[in-house]
Amino acid sequence: MKQADYVIIGAGPAAVAAAETLRSTDKSGSIAIISRENISPYSRMALPYFLTGQISQKGTYLRKSSDHYKQRDITLYHATVTSIDPQNKHLELASGGRITYGKLLIATGASPVKPPLPGLDLPGVHNCWTLDDAKAMAQRAGPGANIVLMGAGFIGCIILEALMSRGATLTVVEAGNRMVPRMMNDVAGNMLKSWCEQKGMTILTSTRVVSVAQAKGKLEVTLDNGASDLVDLVVVATGVAASVDFACGTDMEIEDGIKIDEHMQTSINDIYAAGDCAQGRDFSTGFWSVHAIQPTATEHGHIAALNMAGQEAAYKGSLNMNVLDTAGLISSSFGQWQGVEGGQSAQNLDAERYRYTHLSFEGDRLIGALTIGQTDNIGILRGLIQSRTKLGVWKDRLLKNPNRIAQSYIASTLM
Residues that bind another protein (CB under 8 A): 13, 17, 43, 45-46, 49, 54-55, 59-64, 283, 293-295, 298-299, 302-303, 306, 311-319, 321-323, 325, 328, 330, 332, 334, 375-383, 386-388, 406-407, 409-411, 413-415
Half-sphere exposure of 72 (CA within 13 A, CB side): 22
Closer Cβ to another protein, 114 or 404, answer by number: 404
Tell me the chain's radius of gyration from C-alpha atoms.
Answer: 23
CB 303 within 8 A of CB 312: no
Q: Which helix (H) or strand (E) holds 196?
A: helix 186-198
Least distance from another protein to the Cβ atom of residue 280, Å:
11
Least distance from another protein to the Cβ atom of residue 203, Å:
22
Least distance from another protein to the Cβ atom of residue 244, Å:
23
Least distance from another protein to the Cβ atom of residue 41, Å:
11
CB 360 within 8 A of CB 338: yes
Indicate the residue type of 127: N
Render 29-66 in DSSP notation, one character per residue. Answer: S-EEEEESSSSS-B-GGGHHHHHTTSS-SGGGBSS-ST
Closer Cβ to another protein, 61 or 246, answer by number: 61
Closer Cβ to another protein, 146 or 407, answer by number: 407
Closer Cβ to another protein, 4 or 385, answer by number: 385
Least distance from another protein to the Cβ atom of residue 365, Å:
13
Nearest to 2 by CA among 76, 105, 71: 76
Closer Cβ to another protein, 142 or 328, answer by number: 328
Indicate the residue type of 155: I
DSSP reduced 3-state for 305? helix
Render 214-233 in DSSP notation, one character per residue. Answer: EETTEEEEEETTS-EEEESE
Least distance from another protein to the Cβ atom of residue 250, Å:
28
Closer Cβ to another protein, 20 or 133, answer by number: 20
Distance CA 391, CA 395 (A): 5
Distance CA 23, CA 37 (A): 23
Least distance from another protein to the Cβ atom of residue 17, Å:
7
Least distance from another protein to the Cβ atom of residue 178, Å:
21
Burial of 259 (0-12, 13-18, 19+ CB in 10 A): middle
Q: Which helix (H) or strand (E) holds 102?
A: strand 98-106
Closer Cβ to another protein, 110 or 150, answer by number: 110
Closer Cβ to another protein, 206 or 388, answer by number: 388
